[in-house]
Structure 1
Amino acid sequence: MEKKMLFLFNPKAGRSEIKNSLADILNIFTKGNYEVLVHPSQSRQDIEETIVRKGADFDLVVTCGGDGSLNEAINGLMRLGNQAPELGYIPTGTVNDFAASHRISKNMLVAARDIVSGSVVETDIGCFNGRYFSYVAAFGAFTDVSYETPQVAKNRFGKNAYILEGIKRIPLLSSYHVVAETDDDEVIEDDVIFGMISNAISVGGFKLARSYDVTMDDGFFEVVFVKKALIDFFNASVMLNALLHPNSDNVYTLRAKKVHVRCEDGLSWTLDGEDGGSCTEATIENIKRSIRIRVPS
């Protein structure tokens, strides 16, 4: 029996390779016995709202784009609750951290074939003040680079565009006095330059250290705060080293199901590499095994 697929794609993500591969992708899905409804994203939040309106009528929702497009798909599916179908993901963005964490190929045709022939796993999703995210909520040093970098630069230079934009922000780095409390009553209060609550083995295109012991379906976040340091290029390198090698005096690391973060001066957050808005308090909760996603077998 033919199954129904809702295929949504962002024509502007990454270097727009989808334009050259769309026919081949649809051919793979059709041969996989899917009747496919194709929807190119028209504007911000269009993927999310389209899934909310139509997703419950399909066996499978597939989104093709970067981490921002995936974030919209996740929010749409979470809003559907028990009516949510399975999710397939074809990454075409600049970094694609979620795909790396789930072994999803960056080759669009391979990713499409894996959606048809792969297996289904349940994965954790984060909730940030009622807004869902797939793999990371972060604030502080360099976290705005992914959405402040011009799309034309990302298309031309790929991940290097982020590095160039980050260098421009070094003189603007600041510290923040934060109080963070976890569900098991652990409290951190300090001046920090960076904070990250994640469920991923790759963030910003960099693989985190194995000592973080990341599991995508255990109901726990990996929580990182980098302490205030002299804000110069050397210490920006120290910050990156602290993330990759967490056994450091410069960084707090812990695991938690729920985190409440306060900062009287307010924090500007990034959710899955997109602008998450500013607030003085944020509650970030792990929703265990809440999305079913197709991954390579």
Structure 2
Amino acid sequence: MRIAIVFNPGSGRRAATTSLGQVTSALASHNHTIEVFDRVAEPDFEAAIRREAHDFDRVIAIGGDGTLNGVVNGVMTSDHPQLPIAFVPTGRGKDTARALTSWKAEALGDGVFEAAEAVPTDLVRIELASGTTRYAINVANIGLAAHAAHLANGMPRWLGSLSYVLGAGRAIVPPREFAVRMCIDGDVIAINNALLLSVCNGRAMGGGIYIAPEADQHDGLLDIVIAANAHLGDLALQLPKLKSGKPFDHKALHRWRGEEVTLQPTSTTWFDADGERLNTQPLKLAVAAGAVNWIAPQ
């Protein structure tokens, strides 16, 4: 089997480097051909995966959600979009792994990885104002959540998921509200004073905040969530509920499900996909049902 491994040596306070050794050791007895891509040494690793995807039978991402996002986009824009992907999460947030079953590095041995089958899994296809198409496997954010993730990425890694809470605290003062006009599967919706808009494939973001606790990455639907007209103190009080993973209602949270959402331009300049900042606003986000082949432990 020909296996590509993409890893971020800075992820998880060197946890990715440790995991890389465990993964290669676990796979060593099966005579695989393995090629390792270092995200730091090769910053344009996404282009490398896109260019060489047809040379591999499987790809393993070791790192955070951003590393996985780059692998997903490299595969999906290659001439081999069916290339199966496995994930060993070592980042600070681990939000994708809260919904999609992922691997522990030491668990890939004894033929377990080779026997695991790929399962068609949904993605979010994002059409940007620049004309570029991107993909997210977990969530695309506009507003507060995207700004908070950007700030968190600049904080010390030892803070772990706490960095997202601190980032949100910095991003929310003063509140940067914006107006949203969108169309979900033909239904037009307009909301003023939005703090964030999240188009979710997965359940959690921001290091364990379950913004869409009932989302399912195999149902062919997106979960769209807007926080609007929100009192900051009240939102802070909801954090325990948001981190519980259980469904709950709140007057500031508005939820929809659909296959496609189109957006008019907004005043905010904060956009991201799986925590990776987007350079221009998403104008159309649609579910790409079963688009990625996801390898999970059986």
| Percent pairwise identity | 21
- Higher strand content, 1 or 2: 1
Deviations 1:79-129 (A, max 9, x none): 125454111111111112112211214x33236775444332111111111
Deviations 1:12-48 (A, max 9, x none): 1221113234333102122244211112123685221
> Alignment partner of 1:13: what SS?
coil
> What letter is aligned with 1:149?
A
Deviations 1:152-195 (A, max 9, x none): 612x1211222223323332322111101112424243321111
Conserved in 2, the CA contact under 8 Å of 1:242 and 1:248?
Answer: no
Conserved in 2, the CA contact under 8 Å of 1:55 and 1:84?
Answer: no
TM-score after normalising by structure 1: 0.87
In the aligned structure 2, how far is the partner of 1:44 from the partner of 1:24? Answer: 21
Shift of 1:240: 7.6
> What letter is aligned with 1:61?
V
Change (3 A) 1:101 1:32: farther
Matches within 5 A, 1:230-241: 230=231, 232-238=232-238, 241=241
> What letter is aligned with 1:41?
R
> What letter is aligned with 2:225?
V
Change (3 A) 1:123 1:171: same
Conserved in 2, the CA contact under 8 Å of 1:89 and 1:111?
Answer: no
- 2:251 is aligned to 249
Q: CA RMSD in A?
A: 2.6
- 1:5 is aligned to 3
Conserved in 1, the CA contact under 8 Å of 2:20 and 2:62?
Answer: no
Is residue 54 from structure 1 mapped to residue 52 from structure 2 by the alignment?
A: yes
> Alignment partner of 2:70: what SS?
helix
Conserved in 2, the CA contact under 8 Å of 1:199 and 1:214?
Answer: yes
List runs of 5+ in structure 1 lacking aligned partners: none
Q: 1:64 aligns with which of 47, 62, 73?
A: 62
Change (3 A) 1:239 1:108: same
* Higher mean C-alpha deviation, range 23-32 or range 243-252: 243-252
How many pairs were matched up? 290
In the aligned structure 1, how far is the partner of 2:43 from the partner of 2:79? Answer: 18
Conserved in 1, the CA contact under 8 Å of 2:144 and 2:270?
Answer: no
> What letter is aligned with 1:143?
A
> What letter is aligned with 1:141?
L
Shift of 1:267: 3.9
Is residue 140 from structure 1 mapped to residue 140 from structure 2 by the alignment?
A: no
Conserved in 2, the CA contact under 8 Å of 1:6 and 1:62?
Answer: yes
> What letter is aligned with 2:173?
P
Is residue 110 from structure 1 mapped to residue 111 from structure 2 by the alignment?
A: no
Shift of 1:135: 1.2
> Alignment partner of 2:146: what SS?
coil
- 2:293 is aligned to 292
- 2:222 is aligned to 221
Is residue 90 from structure 1 mapped to residue 85 from structure 2 by the alignment?
A: no
Shift of 1:72: 0.5
- Higher helix content, 1 or 2: 1
Conserved in 1, the CA contact under 8 Å of 2:4 and 2:34?
Answer: yes
Q: 1:201 aligns with which of 186, 203, 206?
A: 203
In the aligned structure 2, how far is the partner of 1:267 from the partner of 1:137? Answer: 14
> Alignment partner of 1:171: what SS?
coil
